[in-house]
Amino acid sequence: MHLKSRDRSGFRLGVAMPVGEDGLWPMRCPEHPEDHFFKVEVTQKPDNEEDSDPEPEDSPLYCPYCGHGANLWDFAPEQHARLMAAATAAAEQYVADALGDMLDKAFGGRRQSSSGPFGISVEVKPGVLPPRRSLPEPGEVEQTRRTMQCQTCEEVVAVYGLAIYCPRCGRLAPVQQFGELIRLHRDGLAALDAVPQEVKRGLMESGVLDANYENTIKDGFGALETFLKARFEAEAPHVSLRDKGSVFQRLGDAADLYREHLGVDLPDLLGTDSWEHLNQAAAMRHILVHNAGIVDVRFLNRLPAWPQQAGQRIQIKKADAAAFVALLERVVAAFG
C-alpha cells in the first residue's frame, strides 16, 4: 500500500493486488465459488483521464463457465476485503495526521493570553498515531495454463474448464463457442488414450467407452446445430424461424436457409466430402437419439457400407468419434 497523491480534497491510495506473472487477476464465481475459477486482464486508467466509463464495481462481470452475472467485487471477495482494509487503515492515518496538523497550527508551541491580569497558557503535545493495520493476505494465484480471447470484445481470460461465456460482454462469438465445445470432445478422446490399459479394459467392459463415443456424436452434432442457428439468427435477425421446428438438425433445410438468406452455400463452403460426412453423422445421431440406437432400414439406405444389419444396436467406435471431431474442427475453420 502506498500514497499516490494528496491534496486538500483528500488522497489517492495505491494497493497491491495479487496477479500472476501474466498480469491476470484471479476471480471466482459467487454462484460456484468452489470450482469456477478464472482470471481476467487488469487495466489501469491514467491518473488524468476523465470520462464517463462506469467504475469497476458498477460494470457487470460474467462467469465464463455458467454465465452468472454480478459486479466485479462479487467475483473478487478476497481482493475487496484487502482493498477495504487498506482504505480503512489509510483513512485512520490520514485523519490523525490532519487533526495533528490542525491543532499544531491553532496552538503550535506554548501560548499565553495577555488579556487581563491573569495569563492562560495552552500547550499541545502530539498524540500517538493509530497503529498500522496489517492487510489480509492476498492468497496464491493459480498458474495460467490456458487463455482465451473473445472475438467480440477482445477480452483475455484464463480458464480452467469448459468456458463458453466472455467475462466482459457475456457471450463468446458463436464460432468461438462452437470451437470450445469441440475442443472439449477432442481433449476427452485424447485423455482416454492416456488411461492405463487395465483401467481402459474396465471402462470398456462397463460400457463407459462406448457411451463416451456415442455422446461425442450426439453432443457434437448438438453443438453444430446450436452454432448454425446462432450464426443464422445473428446475420439474418429479420427472418422468422417460427413453425420451422428443429430446422438446423436437418442439414438440407439448414443449407437452404443459409443459401437463400445469407448467400452462403454450406456444401460448397465445407466441401462435398465433408458435407456428405456431416449428413452421415446426422444419420448416426438420429439413430442414437430417436431410435434407441437400433439400426433400421432407413439408416442402412443412407449408409449402405455400414457393417451392421437392421435390428442390431449401432456400434460407434473411437475412430468414428475421432473422425467426427476432426470434421467439426474443419467446420470451425471454414467459418472462422
Q: Give 127-186 pLDDT, tens digit per residue.
A: 555 666 665 565 666 788 889 999 888 999 999 888 889 999 988 888 999 999 999 999
Q: Give how many domains the chain has, as a whole number.
A: 2
Cell of 235: 446475420
pLDDT of residue 139: 60
Domain shared by 118 and 158, yes or no: yes
Domain assignment present for residue 154? The answer is: yes
208 in a structural domain: yes
Query: Taking 80 as the threshold, does the pLDDT of residue 21 lie above it?
Result: no
Which of 172, 195, 212 finishes a domain? 172
Report whether 5 contacts 12 (CB < 8 A): yes
Same-domain status, 80 and 157: yes
Higher pLDDT, 284 or 242: 284
Q: Are 232 and 112 within one domain?
A: no
Comparison of pLDDT for 134 and 73, the residue scoring more = 73
* Residue 225 and residue 128 share a domain: no
pLDDT at res. 138: 57
The last residue of one of the domains, among 138, 155, 172, is 172
318 is a domain residue: yes
Range with lowest mean pLDDT among 48-52, 103-107, 192-196, 266-270? 48-52
The per-residue pLDDT for range 266-293, each reduced to its tens digit, is: 999 999 999 999 999 999 999 999 999 9
pLDDT of amino acid 203: 93
Q: Does 44 map to a domain?
A: yes
* Whole-prediction pTM: 0.69
Mean pLDDT, residues 210-229: 95
Q: 145 and 229 share a domain?
A: no
String of DSSP letters for 133-165? PPPPP----PPP--EEE-TTT--EEEESS---S
Based on the fold, state whether residues 183 and 319 are members of the same structural domain.
yes
For 17, how many CA atoms within 13 A lie in the half-sphere containing its CB?
Answer: 23
Domain assignment of residue 192, given as a range: 174-236+246-335
The helix-helix angle for 272-290 and 208-235 (nearest 10°) equals: 120
Asked whether residue 241 is domain-assigned, the answer is no
Residues 222 and 204 in one domain: yes
- Regarding whether 212 and 113 lie in a shared domain, the answer is no
Residues 105 and 212 in one domain: no
- What is the mean predicted confidence (pLDDT) over 297-326? 95
Rounded mean pLDDT, 107-112: 52
Say if residue 30's pLDDT is above 70. yes
Confidence of residue 231 (pLDDT cuts 50, 70, 90): very high
Decide if 302 is inside a domain: yes
- 20 & 81 share domain: yes
Residue 266 domain-assigned?
yes
Mean pLDDT confidence for 101-112: 55
Do 191 and 165 reside in the same domain of the chain? no
In this prediction, residue 1 carries a pLDDT of 46
CA nearest 64: which of 157, 149, 180, 145?
157
Amino acid at 169: C
pLDDT the model gives residue 59: 74
CA distance 15 to 32: 27
Let me know whether 195 and 137 are in one domain.
Answer: no
Between CA 250 and CA 44 the distance in angstroms is 49
| Domain termination residue (choose one: 128, 156, 172) | 172
Residue 310: pLDDT over 60:
yes
**Rounded Cα distance, 72 and 98, in Å:** 33
Q: Is residue 115 part of a domain?
A: yes
Name residue 103's amino acid. L
User: What was the pLDDT predicted at 171?
Assistant: 82
Dump the DSSP string for 33-53: TTT-EEEEE-----TT----P
